[in-house]
Structure 1
Amino acid sequence: MRELTVLGTASQVPTRHRNHNGYLLRWDDEVILFDPGEGTQRQMLLAGQAVTPLRRVCITHFHGDHSLGLPGIIQRISLDKVPHPVAMHFPAGGREFFDRLRHATSFYDVADLSPEPVSDGFRVETSAGPLTALPLRHSIETYGYRLAEPDGRRMVPSLLAAHGITGPMVGELQRTGSAGRVTLEQVSAPRPGQRFAFVMDTGLCENVFRLAEGADLLVIESTFLAEDAAMAAQVGHLTAGQAASVARQSGVRTLLLTHFSQRYADSTRFLDEARAEFDGDIVLAEDLMRVPVPPRLGSTDDRASASRR
């Protein structure tokens, strides 16, 4: 299963209908919680998600709407006796904030946490592929994250049959790259890896595009509308139109808009503004919705075609 559960979609303050941030990515066996804002533990309960499968938590920056839920998540990891280490990624310059949140209150601490601070060029191997981080442009140290599955190859039954490859020979091809005189390239086709990008509080900058490049699913803040573009630039945020323009220029397949300012009563305006810039799939995030990672593209040519749209 490759799916994103949206736990919260508000920005600076929660509203009656939007909790603070929280996004749970399930990518086969790799389960990652991004930016657990206040109330994330309860939102996970409402979404039917447990902390036990968590493999890592990623914090983009230490503003409260992106991190005040961390103490509850850590204490729940301890309470539920999660049997494996849980990596904790956060801006290296915010280590003091992490340590404070880690021990915000007294509790019986048996959590097996592995703090792994991020800096420019950060990369860690996961069961889903490399997870990388790049700095963004905000009022404090902030990072965006990107998960990229390595490209591979898929076996083509008609080509296998044409070369007389059956049974154990298929496994041999996959393991060694050849079976007799038949090579893997002769009986398979390119299978592009899937890509996920997570971009929160930032003004427009080069690294936004680097993170978003070719993403199958881009989760990105769209705090403001174009009418408040000057304010957005001043405080280090994006408008819905800017987020959609990034998606268009970066060849994104599905764009998920979130982190909405409470100043706008009608959230459909974000969708309308984004639609003027991007004609691909757009999801206007709502609390507790589930968004599947789009089905895998068939070939690298398909990805190239998508990138040119």
Structure 2
Amino acid sequence: MTTQKVAFLGLGVMGAPMTINLAKAGYAVTAWNRTADRPHISEVEAAGAIIAPSIEAAIADADVIFLCLGDAPDVEAVVLGDGGVAEFAKSEAMIVDTSTIGVSAAKKIATELQKHNLRFLDAPISGGDIGAQKGTLTIMVGGSEADFEACMPLFSVLGKSIHWCGPSGSGQGVKLCNQVLVSLNMVGICEAMLLAEKLDIDPQLVVDVCGSGAAGSWALTNLGMKVAEADFQPGFMIKHMLKDLRLVLEAYHQAAQVLYQVPDETFGEGMPGVELADQLFKDVRDLEDGDRQGTQAMIRAYREFLQKAIDLPPL
């Protein structure tokens, strides 16, 4: 077992398997979750991690502190709030945030932690629960290159495609670009599966044939048949995607304002593709259980539209 001590804060769908992988790799891991009775916690404990009752207990003497939380306010509360990481972490500890919180929040946290003599990497992840379980995540890292290199042994346990993207906030920037591609890819998958259905084409054929060519993608391979079979169990929930798309649009407008020095409203919507995906996810969010279903549940928005169209009176 390595002598490096690791803390992991946030044991949800992604955080729990990441913690398990670190413990199985021989790291001494102490973990904490805001909600103590989450179903994944017993699995984390069984893998060898110690479950702590508080942030203070979890990060005591930790060399590296990972976070996997929901949104920027959650991360800021856990890191910078009363009783948080900044208050109890030992000097020179490395804080690695794998949440998606946006560029400005990552830069703010990095600046504040520097005042406490703490290091920070924004390291958002992609690959869904499958990638977290298998240790095959894509990890996009912003911060000091030296700190990135120091964390590579840990990152290598969690992912297979690991990239230093630049200074603080750069990992978040690349992740937001990733979410643009992921969200619009789902639009294409849903519409391809609808067309296949109308043409009486086996959806598995679409996944196998189209997935081997220029239209191939991780989403088509892993989620295509889930769209076709209405399997909406979440690997990545719609509510989280909507949060990410909010951050995408905020980042776009903020950057455009700074670049061109004109009022934000000058740019209008600016990203029509993202706006479309955002609206489709919102349509599903408003259906029963929609916000907690996987992003492949976008197909429900199309089904709902078609159903309403069928029920319309003739023109």
TM above 0.5? no
Q: If the length of structure 1 is used for normalisation, what is the TM-score? A: 0.31
Higher normalized strand content (fraction of residues): 1
Structure 2 length as normaliser, TM-score?
0.30
Query: Which has more helix, going by share of residues?
Result: 2
